[in-house]
A and B are shown apart, each in its own frame.
Chain A
Amino acid sequence: MSQAHRPDSAGRGDIVVSARNLTKKFGDFTAVDAISFQVRAGESFGLLGPNGAGKSTTMRMIGGVSRRTSGELAIMGLDPDRHGPEIRAHLGVVPQQDNLDQELRVRDNLIVYGRYFGLPHSYLRPKADELLEFAQLADKARAKVDALSGGMKRRLTIARSLVNDPRMLLLDEPTTGLDPQARHILWDRLFRLKESGVTLILTTHYMDEAEQLCDRLIVVDKGRIMAEGSPAALIREHSTREVLELRFGSERNAAVAAELGGIGERQEALPDRVLIYADDGEAALEQVSGRGLRPLTSLVRRSSLEDVFLRLTGRSLID
């Protein structure tokens, strides 16, 4: 075997994904438009963006199952176009849609998947039990996949992605479609993985998920990177400390917004409410009252990633 073709044995902090002007076109459509970013070992890195932003396409390129149109991409130091199987051997993949093997039972799903990596049964048998324990599915080992709830299937998919001790875990919208309990259990499991040093790369359009799990993230829209940084830094950079939400009734919101000029850093009139971005929300509310305006309801809250996201990617509906 040639040493040059082994993935770098990266320590914590080394660069495991490096993309420069990474581009993917499908015919005339540019899904990913010359994006550049790096991910370090042990980091939890998020791709945030609306549907159709190019998140999944980027993930598929990192996963070595989609060839880039142009630009440079190195995964653990290897070019995925030439070393797809070696790269995939060290990745765990949790796809957007569960693709568990419906014809096999829960535990066999883990063992058979491990066999695809060429791992021996002697390694896989204890590993499967350990992973079932981790995914809180030990009592379902003999169950059929069909009989599992959505949250259980998701946990089994994550357990399956860990069977080869991946250096990097790729999660494409890991909690979409799950109820709040199932999401929190899943976040807890992912957080444990992060603590144990696994590099996580995830896409999501849930802001709370990104804030919970990501050390650093990029906001992508229409195939381009709109912003990059930690959740806290992004909020600092692209929003104010607090947001004042005022409701004057659907008919009046727009009209009232015109009278709010100068309060806070900026205002935004939505159909259902008016937002005032200010570092001190209570002070802004007093100013509103001082102008004789009486909102039906008012709420002061801290700025969230959602404010950043909507500011950067716009509010129009993307289908």
Chain B
Amino acid sequence: MSRQTLGGTSRKQPAQLPVLSGRPLASLYAGNVRAVFARGLKATWGSNWAITASGFVEPVLYLVAMGVGLGSLIGTVEGPGGERIGYANYIAPALLAVSAMNGAVYDSTWNVFFKLNYAKLYEGMLNTSLGPLDVALGEILLALLRGALYATGFTAVMGVMGLVTAPWALLMVPAAVLVAFGFASFGMGVTSFMKTFQQMDWISFVMLPMFLFSATFYPLSVYPEPVQWMVQALPLWHGVELLRQLSAGAVTAATGLHILYYLVMILLGLVLTTARLRRLFLS
């Protein structure tokens, strides 16, 4: 077709734009999370999968080294239900929580940081009819998907190593997705405050001790009481406990509290991220 007809053809078949008015939260949400999510999939497709895989491999290496290696010296430990279980069985669900966390954090911090400050991706998105909640949910779902993939892979590794015993353990996958959702939603909110690479290092500075000390490798009871309170305030501990209880089938009222912790974390994270995107790009 000839270039001159651009205006003419466009007028003949105008874009049929969806009507947005009257929706709840109309200025924040256009009901088009799908477009943001699909964009993320398209962009990730064909990008460097080696980097992606490293986040999954790390907890597997810990499981082999600590669970199988160190575990041969330790023998059995007391499980969540009070029974004696192998050390690998003890740390595997904790490392599953770590795996879900790593996947979610990878996308929702470094990737978001780059898109926010360098690629100006969200600025472009918010020049369209998308609202900040669409962008936040789409990006968080993408991070969540990575967390879910890591968690599913890790559960498969656990199965192969004979570490999945109770039928409850099948619930570990959706529980790990919940953990990933919590970290993804909060991680993106926190990242929106970061302006420099130095500040981004603070995230690693928080993540590593949290990984090591959230009752991942030994029970909470080794700490003095004030330290116990601190650890219990951190999200990873709740994920570790939730998955450990499910893996042993020791489901109690505490399980419900851990789930509640994540539901609140997801909600707060979404509110924070949406508010931040609004402040950064629509103020």
Partners in one complex: yes
Task: Flag if B39 contacts A89 (CB, 8 Å).
Answer: no
With a CB–CB cut-off of 8 A, which chain B residues contact A2?
21-22
Known interface pairs A67-B282, A192-B4, A196-B8; A101-B21 also in contact (CB < 8 Å): no
The residue that A101 contacts in the complex, of B15, B35, B43, B128, with Cβ under 8 A, is B43
Identity of the chain B residue whose Cβ is nearest the Cβ of A5 in the assembled complex:
B21
- A118 interface residue per 8 A CB criterion: yes
Question: Could you tell me which B residues sit within 8 Å of A by CB distance?
Answer: 1, 3-4, 6-11, 13-22, 26-27, 30, 32, 34-36, 38-39, 42-43, 47, 119-121, 123-131, 281-283
> What 0/1 readout, one digit per residue, does chain A (65-99) give for beta carbons within 8 Å of chain B?
11100000000000000111110111101010101
Given A65-B282, A66-B282, A133-B1, A88 contacting B7 (CB threshold 8 A): no
A6 to B1, CA, bound (A): 32
State whether the Cβ of A14 lies closer than 8 Å to any Cβ in chain B.
no
The answer to whether A119 touches B22, judged by C-beta atoms less than 8 angstroms apart, is no
- Are B7 and A117 interface neighbours, CB within 8 A? no
By a CB distance below 8 angstroms, the chain A residues around B17 are: 89-90, 117-119, 164
Bound complex: CA of A164 vs CA of B10, how far in Å?
A: 9
* Interface residue ranges, A against B (CB under 8 Å): 1-2, 5-6, 63, 65-67, 82-86, 88-91, 93, 95, 97, 99-104, 108, 112-120, 123, 127, 130-131, 133-134, 162-165, 192-193, 195-198
User: Residue A112 contacts which of B4, B42, B123 (CB distance < 8 angstroms)?
Assistant: B42
* B21 and A193 form a contact (CB under 8 A): no
Q: A5-B21, A67-B282 are in contact. Are A196 and B10 (CB under 8 A)?
A: yes
Q: Which residues of B contact A83 (CB under 8 A)?
A: 21, 26-27
- Tell me if B19 and A65 are in contact (CB < 8 A): no
> Once the chains bind, are A97 and B120 in contact (CB under 8 Å)?
yes
Q: Which residue of A has the minimal Cβ distance to B30? A: A85
When distances are taken between beta carbons in the complex, the residues of chain A under 8 Å from B19 are: 1, 6
Q: Besides the contacts A193-B7, A197-B11, what 17 more A-B pairs have beta carbons closer than 8 Å?
A: A2-B21, A2-B22, A5-B22, A65-B282, A85-B131, A89-B128, A93-B127, A99-B123, A100-B124, A112-B35, A115-B39, A117-B128, A117-B129, A118-B18, A118-B32, A123-B15, A196-B10
Is the beta-carbon distance between B47 and A192 smaller than 8 angstroms?
A: no
Q: Top 8 A-B pairs ranked by shortest CB distance?
A: A196-B7, A5-B21, A103-B43, A99-B120, A116-B128, A89-B129, A115-B35, A118-B18
Secondary structure of the B side of the interface?
loop
Asked if B129 and A95 sit within 8 Å, CB to CB, the answer is: no
A89 CA to B26 CA in the complex, in Å? Answer: 13
B124 touches A101 (CB 8 A): yes
Q: Are A118 and B35 in contact (CB under 8 A)?
A: yes
Q: Name the residue of chain A whose CB is nearest to the CB of B4.
A: A192
Closest-CB distance, A61 to chain B (whole angstroms)? 11
B283, A63: Cβ atoms closer than 8 Å? no
User: Given A5-B22, A103-B43 in contact, is the A66-B119 Cβ separation under 8 Å?
Assistant: no
Alpha-carbon distance A242/B191, docked complex (angstroms) = 57
Instruction: Give complex CA distance A197, B8 in Å.
Output: 9
Q: What residue of chain A has the Cβ atom nearest to residue B47's Cβ?
A: A103
Nearest B residue to A116, CB-CB: B128
- Cα A195 to Cα B125 in complex, Å, equals 28
Please tell me if the beta carbons of A108 and B42 are within 8 angstroms of each other in the complex.
yes
Pair A99/B30 contact, Cβ less than 8 Å: no
Given contacts A193-B7, A196-B6, contact A1 B47 (CB under 8 A): no
Asked if residues B129 and A134 are in contact (CB atoms below 8 Å), the reply is no
| Nearest-neighbor residue (CB-CB) of A119 within chain B | B15
Looking at the assembled complex, report how far the CB atom of A96 sits from the nearest CB atom of chain B, in whole angstroms. Answer: 11
CB distance from B113 to the nearest CB of A (A): 15
A85 nearest CB neighbor, chain B only: B129
